[in-house]
Copies of this chain bind each other. A is one copy, B any other.
Amino acid sequence: MANDPDKWFHEQIKLLTYNCNQRVWSIIVSLFGDLAGTPGDQISGAALSRITEPMSIKPEAMRVALHRLRNDNWIESQKSGRSSLYTLTDFGLEQSTAARPRIYARSIEHAAEWQLCALAPGAGGPKGKRAKDMRHRGFLAVAPGLFFGPMQAQPLPDSLVFHGQAQNIPQWLKEKIATPEIVKAYGDLEKALDRFAINLLEAPKLPPHQVAALRTIIVHVWRRALLAHAELPDDFFGDDWRAGACRTKVMDVLDRLGRPEPGLL
C-alpha cells in the first residue's frame, strides 16, 4: 500500500496521460460512454470537474467542450438547484451504444467472408469523391479504385464485387492499413498499461471520482488508438501489431478498477 494515496493517484494519472494531444470534448465522450451510457444515467457538473481536473483540464476548457457537445446534440443538461445534471441525449446514447462493442469486447470475432470491390476505371465524376463515398459506406481503400469491406457494406452500384477471403496480405498493404504512428500508439499504450497493472498491486483505496478519472483516461487512449485504423483480422497487420494484447490488458485493468455508479461521483 502506497504511503500517500493522492500521490499514488496523481502518479498514475501522469503515467496514463503520456499522450498529451487529447481534445476535451472527446474525453467527455469517452467519460459518458464509460460511466453514464445507460438511459437515465446522470452526472453532475461538480462530478465532471472532480474527474477531469486531475487531468489538468481547465474549467474554461470544460465549459467550451460541454457547450460544443450540447450544440452537437450529444449531451443535454438540466438545472437541479444550484448545480447542473448532464445526460447523454437519445442521439448520444445511440452513438455510444454503437461504439461500445468494438471498445469493450474481450475479443473480436472476425467474419469469414469479406468484400473486395473495384470501382469503374476512369468513370465519370472525381475519383476522390467516389472513394470518399465508398469509405462512408464502410469500405477501406486498399489500392487506387480498390476497396475492402464487410459483407453488409453496400458498394457503389457499378463496382466489380467479389466475395471471399484475403489469402495474402502483402507488406505494402499492411503498411497502408497501419502506419508506423498507429503501431507506435499501441506500443506506448501497452507500456503504460503494463506499468499501471504493476502499480495497481499497491493501489490505495480510491474514492469513486478518482477511479472514474483513471477509467476515463484508459478508455480514452484505447478508443483513440482503435479509431485510427479499421477493424480487420490480425493477418492484415504486421508481427509488431499489439492491438490484441492491448485489448486484453485494457479489459484487465478496467475489471480491477471496477466501475463506480454515476450517482456516487
Stretch from A21-29, A57-65, A116-124, A187-195 forming part of the interface with B: A116-124
Kindly state whether residue A230 has any CB partner on chain B within 8 Å.
no
- Most B CB within 10 A of own CB, among A145, A158, A169, A172: A172
Point out the residues of chain B lying under 8 angstroms from A101, CB to CB: none
Kindly state whether residue A113 has any CB partner on chain B within 8 Å.
yes
Point out the residues of chain B lying under 8 angstroms from A121, CB to CB: 143-144, 172
In the complex, are the beta carbons of A160 and B169 less than 8 A apart? yes
How far is B119's CA from A133's CA once the two chains are assembled, in angstroms?
Answer: 23
Point out the residues of chain B lying under 8 angstroms from A145, CB to CB: 143-144, 146
How far is B171's CA from A169's CA once the two chains are assembled, in angstroms?
Answer: 29
Kindly state whether residue A142 has any CB partner on chain B within 8 Å.
yes
Kindly state whether residue A168 has any CB partner on chain B within 8 Å.
yes
Kindly state whether residue A173 has any CB partner on chain B within 8 Å.
yes
Kindly state whether residue A164 has any CB partner on chain B within 8 Å.
yes
Kindly state whether residue A258 has any CB partner on chain B within 8 Å.
no
Given contacts A116-B164, A159-B170, A164-B165, 20 further A-B contacts (CB under 8 A): A116-B116, A120-B170, A121-B172, A123-B172, A142-B160, A143-B145, A143-B146, A143-B160, A144-B144, A157-B170, A158-B172, A160-B166, A160-B170, A160-B173, A161-B166, A161-B167, A161-B168, A162-B164, A162-B166, A163-B167
Point out the residues of chain B lying under 8 angstroms from A169, CB to CB: 160
In the complex, are the beta carbons of B163 and A163 less than 8 A apart? no
Point out the residues of chain B lying under 8 angstroms from A168, CB to CB: 155, 159-161
In the complex, are the beta carbons of A163 and B164 less than 8 A apart? yes
Enumerate 14 A-B pairs (CB-CB under 8 Å) in ascending A order. A121-B172, A143-B146, A144-B144, A145-B146, A146-B146, A158-B170, A158-B171, A159-B168, A160-B168, A162-B164, A162-B167, A163-B164, A163-B165, A164-B164
Which residue on chain B has the smallest CB distance to residue A115? B167
Q: Given contacts A121-B144, A143-B121, A144-B145, are A116 and B172 in contact (CB under 8 A)?
A: no
